[in-house]
Amino acid sequence: MTSLDRITSEPDKFGGRPCIRGLRIRVVDVLDLLAAGLSHAEILAELPDLELEDIKAAIAFASKRVDHPVISA
């Protein structure tokens, strides 16, 4: 399983929003916890179904989503 394979999107879960491994844990939830200053260990304690690789996958997913070409006139 590659890092981005851990990110799933299913229409019947959170309206198709990206989740971790089909769990009901959204990528944005993990990113919000990181943004709030929680360490990886604290996030894993808060969400025991997560694995360290899931946190890394959420970060990689976000990085790919915001890296888009800018077209200027």
> Considering the domain boundaries, does residue 56 fall inside one?
yes
Domain that holds residue 13: 3-66
User: Tokens representing 35?
Assistant: 């943004």
What's the whole-model pTM score?
A: 0.86
Q: What is the DSSP string of 29-49?
A: HHHHHHHTT--HHHHHHHSTT
Q: Domain with 51 in it: what CATH number?
A: 1.10.10.10
**For the chain, what is the domain count?**
1
Length of the chain: 73
pLDDT for residue 25: 97
CA-to-CA distance for 7 and 38, rounded, in angstroms?
21
**Cβ proximity of 52 and 40 under 8 Å:** yes
CA-to-CA distance for 53 and 71, rounded, in angstroms?
34
> Considering the domain boundaries, does residue 28 fall inside one?
yes
Interval 12-59: pLDDT, tens: 999 999 999 999 999 999 999 999 999 999 999 999 999 999 999 999
> Considering the domain boundaries, does residue 44 fall inside one?
yes
> Considering the domain boundaries, does residue 71 fall inside one?
no
> Considering the domain boundaries, does residue 51 fall inside one?
yes
